[in-house]
Amino acid sequence: MTRLDLPVRPLAPLLEMHLGAGIRAAQRLHGGDISDTFRLDTTRGPVVLKTSPQHAGRRLPDGFYVAEAHGLGLLRPGPLVTPDVIAHGSGPAGQPYLLLSWLAPGDDTPAAQDALGRGLAALHARPALGFGGLPDNYFASLPQRNPPAGSAAEFFWTARLEPLLTRERLHLTPRDRAGFDTLRERLPDLIPPEPPALVHGDLWHGNVHYTPRGPALIDPAVGYSHREVDVAALQLFGGVPRRVFQAYHEAYPLADGWEARVPLWNLYPLLAHLLLFGEGYLGRTREALHGVLDSR
């Protein structure tokens, strides 16, 4: 193994046992801030290893990869590709790991973009029993609750916004917090009634991959919520062509005004980024909040 593979070395014997194959090389993959991620080239082909970052103070919470594996399982089998979970557990000194199948890269073509929109619509059209009701999991490295709720508005407030608003280090002013109090009162009128849907939960463009088998989703933070959660997240950091949303809307039409509600749903990931990465996200959070409040 190369110098870059130090986090892999203690896990190698355990991983080779899971794989029934020897590890020939490891290559660090870029993207994401949560895990150290590697492509492992083995005698049976490539796989992906995710393990806890080795930087001081950045150990993953207990059960992190268990939750990710569960989320991938809920998305399978489905209209969109997801990696197979090969194994997860803890290695020497409690080092957690998740071993996944390798997704070969494919082309981001117009046809693939259409397939992403249609596939996401088909995922959201699956019947669901209610809002919430899944085991708790994680959004990035933040704990994410999934209690049962009676409506999309109740779930979005009690399971998503409120838990973050009670955290410290948000840099919110009294005016900001008063705005969230107002939002809580208005939520039932802002969110159109729809049946619950299984959502990926963290569907920014970096968690979409194009493969020869079709568009793929990785790194889920699943929940039974309102489907506009995923549609909005695809627009949070750009990078997703308009035709994806056109294909989605043709397959499963969105309620009137969905584009105006994008800032509403993205308050959750913006608050999470504010908590994780600091006040550089404060301006966007305020803009989204007051844009929602001023729109009514």
Residues in the chain, pLDDT under 50: 1-4, 56
Look up tokens 């490539």; give the residue.
Answer: 46
pLDDT, position 1? 44
115 in the same domain as 75: no
Active site residue 202: yes
Please give the pLDDT value at position 2.
46
Say whether both 130 and 206 belong to one domain: yes
CA distance 39 to 100: 10
Domain range holding 143?
A: 110-294
- Looking at residue 3, what is its pLDDT? 45
**CATH number of the domain to which 44 belongs:** 3.30.200.20
pLDDT computed for residue 54 by the predictor: 61
Percent of the chain with pLDDT over 70: 95
Same domain, 126 and 180: yes
CA separation for the pair 289, 21 (Å, rounded): 51
Question: What pLDDT score was predicted for residue 219?
Answer: 96
pLDDT for 4 equals: 42
Of 202, 219, 256, 294, which residue is the catalytic one?
202
Number of folded domains in the chain? 2
pLDDT of residue 222: 98
| Cβ within 8 Å of residue 130, ≥6 positions away | 148, 149, 196, 224
Give the Å distances, CA to CA, from 213 to 91, 186, 249. 32, 43, 23
The Cα-based distances of 62 to 52, 73, 139, 202 in angstroms read 10, 19, 14, 20
Q: Which residues partner with 217 through β-bridges?
A: 208
Instruction: Find tokens 């750009």 and name the residue.
Output: 238
Asked whether residue 174 falls in the same domain as residue 244, the answer is yes
pLDDT at 32: 64
Cis amide linkage into residue 212, ω under 30° from 0: no
CA distance 113 to 64: 30
**Domain at 166, CATH number:** 3.90.1200.10
